[in-house]
Amino acid sequence: EAQVTQNPRYLITVTGKKLTVTCSQNMNHEYMSWYRQDPGLGLRQIYYSMNVEVTDKGDVPEGYKVSRKEKRNFPLILESPSPNQTSLYFCASSPRAGIGNTIYFGEGSWLTVV
C-alpha cells in the first residue's frame, strides 16, 4: 500500500529534550516536506526537500532541523523543543514539485511540549 508513515503519532515531551519525528514514504517520491497545523493558522510548511541531500526552509523553519540522507526518509528534528512547538505535524510527499504533482500526507503526529 502506498503510504507516508510518521512516528510517533502522539508524544508529550518536556522543554529542551531533543526529539525526532520520523517520516518514511514507499512511493519513490522525490519531494518530501514537513508541515505544522495550528488553529487559525492552517498548514504551514517547515522544511521541504526536492531530493536526496537537498533541503530548503519553508515558512516556519526556526527551531527545526531536517535531513534527507535517503530518498524514502525525511526526519524532523527538534533540538531543543519549546512549548510554542506544540502542534499537529504532518509529513507529506509528492512525486516532485511542479504542475500536476499532488501531495500526499502522513497520518500526523500530535506533539505536546510542556
**Which C-beta is closer to other proteins: that of 17 or that of 57?**
57
Residue with cell 511540549: 113
Nearest to 103 by CA among 37, 35, 56: 35
**Which C-beta is closer to other proteins: that of 53 or that of 79?**
53
* Interacting residues toward other proteins by CB under 8 A: 31, 33, 35, 40-45, 48, 50, 56, 58, 88, 90, 92, 94, 97-108
For 65, list phi and psi in degrees, rounded to 5: -135, 155
CB of 70 to other proteins, least distance (A): 20
**Residue 44: all three cell numbers together:** 504551514
**Which C-beta is closer to other proteins: that of 11 or that of 103?**
103
Q: What's the farthest any 2 CA atoms get from each other in the chain? A: 41
